[in-house]
Chains A and B, each alone.
Chain A
Amino acid sequence: MYKVTVIVRRRPSILDPQGKAAEQGAKHLGFMNVSGTRIGKYIEFNVDTKNHEEAEKEIKLYCEKLLTNPIMEDYSYTISQVI
């Protein structure tokens, strides 16, 4: 079995109103050195396949078909075997 973590990021060209709002909060708190706040998603799941190659195939499909919207988001993942 493999343990997978996925990070979903909004594409740089796409506005991130949440990130913008969080950064406004940061300024109010006095974090004057903070800039470029962008909010994404962290997702984890397990994949039970025969081998690493099959796992990667399934992860990519899951990410591209459901977990992200390729029009506005990019993703990256890490995969590690668990016993």
Chain B
Amino acid sequence: MKSPKFGIVVYPGSNCDHDAYYAVKKQLGFDADFLWHKEKDLKNSDVIILPGGFSYGDYLRTGAVARFSPIMDKVFNFAETGGIVIGICNGFQILLESNLLPGCMIQNETLKFICRDVYLKVETKSSIFSSDIKKDILRIPVAHGEGNYYADENTLSELNANSQILFRYSSETGDTGKLFNPNGSLENIAGILNKRGNILGMMPHPERACDNSLRNTDGESIFYSVVKSLIIKRELNVR
């Protein structure tokens, strides 16, 4: 069977595009290609990754300018028709600015740029991004200065009611108390889904946790989950 293809969008200032490519293609063995933000072709990608970095230097607001890159119209169409989109770190910020995901991102409470491993409690395994995650808690690195997720009360209760909160910052044993919140995010939110469940935004970097030589492969299961869901979808289409 043909390998699912990951399309990784490259904005000026992206710096985790190669990490994502390396993880998906070299480590996990799936097809992957870069998509320059000025292009208007998704090159038959099955999954779109908006990578981490500092698109447009984070000027104005994080992700605010990247949201208007020429390729984004194609990404919006792709997402609207159920295409799988993963926004990591700056990619998450771009998804928020695009209104593909609800809420917004402000500076970390401490104003510090945080770069370290965090633990994430996996809140649901019935999403296409988590169906193949075996563990209940993942260890994944974060690297951001603006990861403080905010949404109004209505949005927040909707996220909870629809099981759209996929990851929360936690302790190694899954305690989601304030003590384990690195950036001030509401309800320790680290990653959310859209209502339909085909778009994921997360601040931690799963692509940086896919290589055994780094002694952490907890990120793999997110990509494997996505591929599994694509294969199931294909089999259903064949029948």
Contacts and interface: CB of A to CB of B under 8 A. Distances in A.
- A and B form one complex: yes
Nearest to B63: A69
A15 B150 CA distance: 9
B64 A18 contact: no
Nearest to B61: A69
Interface in B90-118: 97, 103-104, 106-111
Nearest to A70: B104
Interface string A47-83: 0000000000000000000110101100000000000
Interface string A8-34: 001001111110010000000000000
A17 B60 contact: no
Interface residues of A, number: 13
Contacts of B148: 15, 17
B182 interface: no
Given A66-B64, A66-B68, A17 B150 contact: no
Main secondary structure of the interface of B (DSSP, over half): loop
A18 to B, nearest CB: 6
Interface residues of B, number: 19
Contacts of B184: 15, 17
Interface in B8-33: none
Contacts of A71: 103-104, 150-152
Interface of B: 60-61, 64-65, 68, 97, 103-104, 106-111, 148, 150-152, 184
16 contacts: A13-B152, A15-B109, A15-B184, A17-B106, A17-B108, A18-B107, A21-B111, A66-B60, A67-B60, A69-B61, A69-B64, A69-B97, A71-B103, A71-B104, A72-B104, A72-B150
Given A15-B148, A17-B111, A18-B107, 10 more contacts: A10-B106, A14-B106, A14-B150, A17-B106, A17-B107, A17-B108, A66-B64, A66-B65, A71-B151, A72-B106
